[in-house]
Structure 1
Amino acid sequence: MPNEGSYEVALERSERIRTDLPEHPERYTMLTGDRPTGRLHLGHYFGTLQNRVELQNMGVHTNVLIADYQVITDRDTTEHIRDNVYNMVMDYLACGLDPDKTMIYTHSSVPAANQLMLPFLSLVSEAELSRNPTVKAEMEASGHELTGLLLTYPVHQACDILFCKGNVVPVGRDQLPHIELTRTIARKFNKRYCKDTKPVFPMVNALLSDTPLLPGLDGRKMSKSYGNAISISMTPEETAERIKKSQTDGERMITFDPENRPGVSGLLSTAAICTGRSEVEIAEEIGMSGSGALKKYVTEAVNNRFAEIRERRHVYENDLDYVKDVLAEGNRRANEIAEATLAEVCEAMGMTY
């Protein structure tokens, strides 16, 4: 029998939720978010943003966190953070998130949600935190020392999910340990403090993504630090320049071969996801026309696919007051919810004076 915390069990739960979502969207409260460390790119759009908009439009209670506090888990500076936050809101709005339907807010603006860290930390052991593979991977990737904040990162995520009574979180397989720890925290809190009353926290499930990761233009993971990402906010000219500079190889015939031809294949994957065609079909069409023709095709595919989004984004770029208002209203709503949840927590723990 599969382990309760296994991928197979999580996948089965996720599939049941996907089947139920169109029928009963009101049953679900979704929480997801991003760290404001730079501009959002095509990988973010196809990997998560599209899905958030779909869930929002389906009628799910959607909450999107801009995780500014989590920037300092593995960074030594908060330089440019305000600019990054405002640009993130612009990207969200341009991609279709509606502030009337989706609560958009920042970590640092919701003290009551962060205050849940104290009781939650008492529910997990140091061993549970230390063996979390995601934290180890993030530490190795950043080259940063293991700070107390990085070690307790999964508990902070549990606060994010549970303060709004979130019960679904769209994630990839690598994030499942975080979800499992959140489930542990909710279960332990309810068992310890809600013996004779209704549980405070719901059980959280992962909504596993079936979207394959979009590689960068060079075939590696898409990342702004590699210079292989196309940002949503780029102009058509900047997009063309980024694609033009991408590395391919000396072979004229265009083929889709991710292992042996990562640069060519990364470009084909970008074109494919933007046009809805397959990489092989596009490669066969370009054939012997070479990398110049491929880059031209990819540039047109990206610029056509994102033309409307960029047009909408341009409107928000020229109306920063509106962007600030969206965030202020999201923060106000988040504080209202967090304070109510914290009050329930204090009541359950007998800490009301």
Structure 2
Amino acid sequence: MDSLSTTQSNSERLARAVVERPEAYRVLTGDRPTGPLHLGHYFGSLAERVRLQRLGVEIVVVIADYQVITDRDTAGNVRQNVHEILLDYLAAGLDPEACTIFTHSAVPALNQLMLPFLSLVSEAELHRNPTVKAESAASGRALSGLLLSYPVHQAADILFCQGNVVPVGKDNLPHIELTRLIARRFNERYGEVFRLPEALLSETPELPGLDGRKMSKSYGNGIALRLSAEETAALIRRTPTDSERRISYQPATRPGISALLDTAAVCLGLSPRLLAERLADSGAGKLKELTTEAVNEYFAPLRARRRELAKHPELLSEVLQRGNARANQFAEQTLERVRSAMGMVY
């Protein structure tokens, strides 16, 4: 059995165990506040967080504001972006009474874990991380120390709260492996402190952007959760398609048509190929109309809750204050155990 098959099998076992004993698990997940969340975030992670919360799993969510400063163009909007993401979380169904939502910058003890963790990994191991390699290639400039250590910061996010489950897509498995490596090396060198987290693989296929590429804030090809019905319709109308009237699902050769099919299908609970067969010779105009209706109908309740929540900005501050206080408790407890294990309690 290859590595991915083993991971898949372990994830399936973990998924069953989580249902049977949700109280035994603590999930760490989160987002970088570099812009509004979109449909890819919702179907790829937000909906799963809400599902696990409803099962009774303890959810810890980091809004990774410190990681934003690796992006020079987005750091100036960080406060607004944090509030926008928090609105998305609450509107999607995350309950601040049942989960912990916090920001990196408000939890000093978490960030102190970076020093001992950095001593446990080599520069070569950091350069091999897929995210670091992708960011380096995309930026075309020398990596900052913070960007190079991004995988270690993610490890600190997971381990500071003793998280033992991390919902991820297959592309993020290297981050979990590095986190497990850091935890093992610390435990071997200093004594047992950390649990080894496990990956819970998402069953939702990656939702492409409207241009067929990966849905990304930087590409501007996603449908933001905060958009109105009218803004959604306008965005979908502008999606480039082709002149062929028959609708078919061919992501490689018909990216615009296929992306619209993916978007409509995930909202309707259908497969994109089945949806293409149903549309047959209806044309791109009908597909765009159907996609608009599917998205707007699916997200109407979330958007209504979001508009109502936005009327109460004081609520956002209260949620973050409670979440930050709770996260600081986790972090200080863990840092104390780390210091004790390292013989640095004076």
Using the TM superposition, name which of 242-251 and 75-84 deviates more.
75-84
Residue 226, structure 1, aligned to residue 219, structure 2: yes
Give the Cα separation in 2 of the matches to 1:247 and 1:124: 45
1:80 match: secondary structure: helix
- Alpha-carbon separation, structure 1, partners of 2:129 and 2:277: 44
1:117 Cα offset (Å): 0.6
Of 229, 253, 256, the residue aligned with 1:260 is 253
- Does the 8 Å contact 1:258/1:266 carry over to 2? yes
CA–CA distance in structure 2, aligned partners of residues 210 and 280 of structure 1: 18
The answer for the alignment partner of 2:4 in structure 1 is 7
Q: What's 2:188 paired with?
A: 191
- Counterpart position of 1:152: 149
What are the residue-to-residue correspondences of 1:117-128 with 2, within 5 Å?
A: 117-128=114-125
Matching residue within 321, 334, 340 for 1:328: 321
Q: 1:178 is matched with which residue: 152, 175, 178?
A: 175
The whole-number CA distance in structure 2 between the counterparts of 1:40 and 1:163 is 25
For residue 277 of structure 1, give the secondary structure of its aligned residue in structure 2.
coil
Q: Give the drift of 1:14.
A: 1.3
- Which amino acid in structure 1 is aligned with residue 277 of structure 2? E
Partner of 1:60: 57
Residue 78 of structure 2 corresponds to 81
1:168–1:206: 8 Å Cα contact kept in structure 2? yes
Matches within 5 A, 1:82-101: 82-101=79-98
Q: Provide the rounded CA distance (Å) in 2 between the counterparts of 1:322 and 1:26.
A: 28
The answer on 1:310 being equivalent to 2:303 is: yes
**What SS is found at the alignment partner of 2:52?**
helix
| Kept after mapping to 1: 8 A contact 2:62/2:103 | yes
What is the percentage of aligned positions where both structures have the same residue?
61
One-letter code of the match for 1:228?
A: N
> How many angstroms apart in 2 are the aligned matches of 1:191 and 1:36?
35
Equivalents in 2 of 1:125, 1:76: separation in Å? 29
Give the Cα separation in 2 of the matches to 1:179 and 1:285: 40
Pick closer, same or farther for the CA change 1:247–1:322 going to 2, 3 Å.
same
Q: Say whether the 8 Å CA contact 1:190–1:201 is kept in structure 2.
A: yes
SS in 2 for 1:21: helix
Question: Counterpart of 2:193 in structure 1: which amino acid?
Answer: V
Question: Any unmatched runs of 5+ in structure 1?
Answer: none
Aligned partner of residue 138 in structure 2, secondary structure: helix
Residue 19 of structure 2 aligns to a residue whose secondary structure is: coil
Which whole-Å CA distance do the structure 1 matches of 2:83 and 2:24 have between them?
31
SS at match of 1:63: strand
The residue number in structure 2 matching 1:38 is: 35
| 1:199-250 deviation line (CA, Å, top 9, x unaligned) | 2110111111121101111211112333321110000000000001111111
Q: CA shift at 1:77, angstroms?
A: 5.0
Q: In the TM superposition, what is the alpha-carbon distance from 1:144 to its structure 2 partner?
A: 4.4
Shift of 1:311: 0.5
Deviation at 1:76, TM superposition (A): 5.1
Give the aligned CA root-mean-square deviation in angstroms.
Answer: 1.4
CA separation in 2, counterparts of 1:144 and 1:330? Answer: 36
Residues 116-139 of structure 1, C-alpha deviation per residue, up to 9 Å, x if partnerless? 011111111222222223311232
Alignment check: 8 A CA contact 1:134 1:174 kept: no
| In structure 1, C-alpha distance between the alignment counterparts of 2:186 and 2:122, rounded to whole Å | 14
Contact 2:264 2:294 in 1 (8 A): yes
Q: Is the 8 A contact 2:40 2:206 kept in 1?
A: yes
**Any stretches of 5+ residues in structure 2 without a counterpart?**
none
1:107 partner letter: H
Q: 1:191 Cα shift?
A: 1.6
CA–CA separation in structure 2 for the residues paired with 1:130 and 1:150: 10
Deviation at 1:15, TM superposition (A): 1.6
Q: Paired residue for 1:102?
A: 99
